Amino acid sequence: MAKATPMRFPTDRFFLIAGPCVVEGNDLMFRVGDHLARLAERVPGGIVFKASFDKANRSNAGAFRGPGLDEGLAALDRVRARTGLPIVTDVHLPEQCAAAAQVADVLQIPAFLCRQTDLLVAAGATGKPVNVKKGQWMHPEGMTGAVAKVRQAAPVASEVAVTERGTFFGYGDLVVDMRGFTRLRAACDAPVIFDATHSVQQPGKGQGGASGGLREFIRPLTMAAMSAGADGLFMETHPDPDHAPSDGPNMMPLAELDALILKAIDLWARARA
């Protein structure tokens, strides 16, 4: 097992969390990981590789969920050993946190679970940095409780970040309030990340009741968020999003990733000049 390394969410350098939505086969994982490792050389705050071992909140009962805890963590461990990138993965249950922390450098709380006290406490108790996704129904100041639960459970001062991933706008659509980055940072005293891909999701409006997405808005929303003060960027990416097993309609094509990230880095710096 590759050793998980201590890390922080920088606020003085642009950083990126990126990878496929869910753990797939070694070839796909290594292809994305190798690409991100090369890109990381041009990202001031580095890149954290993201993939989920289980998509526990799929829209349809028969949808692909991933390989599960043991196999999924082993796959993520292989990516770290090959690329040297730190790893982040979702946890859905308190009992998953300790095992995930043996491999992952960062634990992530899914948006739908951001109020689940037992999960937040278990994640914090590992001492690992935690990225909490803001629920699509939550106002920025409402996230203070989630952050406090993680911090109070941590054995030492814990790194916590909060990720904005859009707010429900009627049925099957999301909008992003760009004022939220300033409000989240002030309320939570934590780095704020923009999830550029889930923010263009259209829940339940895809084929067969799956979630759809408006991929063409990833770029403009990313540019807006960099101008509005997001500290970092979260972006799911795949070589062939249209045939990805999860969240394809709102994933960034891997071939288009580098150009967008380099523009985001430039705009991030200009906004802070």
Question: Would the CA dihedral through 183, 185, 188, 192 be positive or negative?
Answer: positive
* Beta pairing, strands 174-175 & 212-213: unpaired
Alpha helices in the chain (DSSP H): 26-40, 69-83, 97-101, 117-125, 144-153, 180-188, 218-228, 254-271
Closest CA to 188 of 152, 166, 161, 228: 161
Closest CA to 203 of 163, 241, 170: 170
| The token pair that represents 110 in the structure block | 């899914």
Return the pLDDT at 264.
99
Q: Residue 159: what residue type?
A: E
Pair 64, 245: CB distance under 8 Å: yes
In whole numbers, what is the pLDDT of the chain averaged over residues? 93
Pair 126, 103: CB distance under 8 Å: no
Element (H, E) at 41: none
**Residue 154: pLDDT above 90?**
no
Determine the average pLDDT of the residues in 158-174: 93
In whole angstroms, what is the distance from residue 67 CA to residue 24 CA? Answer: 8
**Residue 145: pLDDT above 90?**
yes
Supply the DSSP symbol for 58: -
Q: Under DSSP, is residue 236 helix (H, G, I), strand (E, B) or coil? A: strand
Closest CA to 96 of 112, 72, 80, 63: 72
- Read off the pLDDT band of 155 (50, 70, 90): confident
pTM of the model: 0.94
**Residue 5: pLDDT above 60?**
no
Domains delineated in the chain: 15-271 (3.20.20.70)
Q: 37-41 — which CB contacts under 8 Å span 24+ positions?
A: 37/83, 37/84, 37/85, 39/257, 39/258, 39/261, 40/85
Please classify residue 108 by burial: count the beta carbons closer than 10 Å to its beta carbon, then call 0-12 exposed, 13-18 middle and 19+ buried: buried
The 10s digit of each residue's pLDDT in 182-214 is 999 999 999 999 999 999 999 876 666 567 789
End-to-end CA distance of the chain: 42
Return the pLDDT at 6.
60
Alpha-carbon Rg of the chain, whole angstroms?
A: 17
Supply the DSSP symbol for 134: P
Return the pLDDT at 55.
78
